[in-house]
C-alpha cells in the first residue's frame, strides 16, 4: 500500500512542470490559439445554419463559447512570461482571444434579443478571425 502511494507521488511529481521556458510558453499559446480557432469555427458553422437551429440551443452554444474564450485570459494571467518575447506572445494571443470573445458576445446579445442581424457579415468576420488564430498557432513551436 505504502509503495503504491510512493509510486503515485513520484508520478505526480513527474507531471508537474517546472519553470516554463520560451518554447513551453509558445507551445501553450499555440494550443490555446488552436482551441480558440476551433470554437470560432464552430460558432461560424452554427451562424451559417442559424435558420435550422432553435434559439435556446444557439444561446446555450454561444454562452459556452464565450465562457471558454474568456477563461483563456485567466489561464495566461496565472503564468509569468519567461522573457520579453513571451510577453509579446501573450499580448498577441490574449488580444486575439478577447476579440473572438467580443464577437461571439455580440452575436449572443443579438440572439438573446431577437436574431442575428447580419449573418453573412458575422460569418465573414468569424472566418477571418479564425484564419488569424490558425496562422498564429502555426507560428508557434510545436
Partner 1 sequence: MKRFFAVTLGILTAIGGFVDIGDLVANALVGSRFGLSLAWVVVVGVVGICLFAEMAGRVAAVSGRPVFDLVRERLGPRAGLLNLAASFGINLLTLAAEIGGAALALELATGIDYLLWVPAVGLVAWLVMWRVKFETMERVFGLAGLALVVFLVAFFALGPDYGELGRQLVHNPSDDGAATYWFYAVALLGAAMTPYEVFFFSSGGVEERWTRRDLGVMRANVFVGFPLGGLLSIAIAACAATVFLPQMIEVDTLGQMVLPAGLAFGQIGLALVIFGVFAATFGATLETALSSGYSISQYFGWQWGKYVRPREAARFHATLLVSTIVAVALILTTIDPIKVTEYSLVLSAAALPLTYLPVLMIANDPDYMGDRVNGRLSNTLGTFYMILLLVVAVAAIPLMLATKAGQ
Q: How far is the CB of 87 from partner 1 (least distance, A)?
A: 25
* Binding status of residue 64 toward partner 1 by CB under 8 A: yes
50/44 Cα distance (integer angstroms)? 10
Q: How far is the CB of 84 from partner 1 (least distance, A)?
A: 28
Long-range contact set of residues 42-46: C-beta below 8 Å, sequence gap at least 24: 43/104, 43/107, 43/126, 44/123, 44/126, 44/127, 44/130
Residue of 51, 74, 78, 113 interacting with partner 1 (CB under 8 A): 51
* Binding status of residue 38 toward partner 1 by CB under 8 A: yes
Residue of 55, 131, 135, 141 interacting with partner 1 (CB under 8 A): 55
34/122 Cα distance (integer angstroms)? 20
Segment near partner 1 (CB under 8 A), from 18-26, 52-60, 88-96, 118-126? Answer: 52-60
40/61 Cα distance (integer angstroms)? 11
Q: How far is CA 121 from the centre of its chain?
A: 22
Number of helical H runs and strand E runs in the chain: 5, 0
* Binding status of residue 42 toward partner 1 by CB under 8 A: yes
Binding site for partner 1 (CB under 8 A): 11-12, 15, 31, 34-35, 37-38, 41-42, 45-46, 49, 51-57, 59-61, 64, 134
Amino acid at each position: 500500500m505504502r509503495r503504491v502511494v510512493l509510486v503515485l507521488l513520484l508520478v505526480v511529481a513527474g507531471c508537474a512542470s517546472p519553470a516554463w521556458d520560451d518554447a513551453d510558453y509558445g507551445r501553450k499559446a499555440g494550443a490555446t490559439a488552436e482551441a480558440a480557432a476551433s470554437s470560432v469555427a464552430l460558432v461560424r458553422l452554427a451562424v451559417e445554419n442559424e435558420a435550422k437551429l432553435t434559439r435556446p440551443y444557439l444561446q446555450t452554444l454561444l454562452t459556452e463559447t464565450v465562457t471558454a474564450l474568456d477563461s483563456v485570459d485567466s489561464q495566461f494571467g496565472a503564468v509569468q512570461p519567461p522573457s520579453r518575447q513571451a510577453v509579446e506572445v501573450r499580448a498577441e494571443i490574449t488580444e486575439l482571444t478577447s476579440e473572438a470573445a467580443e464577437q461571439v458576445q455580440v452575436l449572443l446579445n443579438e440572439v438573446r434579443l431577437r436574431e442575428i442581424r447580419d449573418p453573412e457579415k458575422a460569418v465573414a468576420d468569424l472566418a477571418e478571425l479564425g484564419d488569424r488564430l490558425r496562422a498564429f498557432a502555426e507560428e508557434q513551436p510545436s
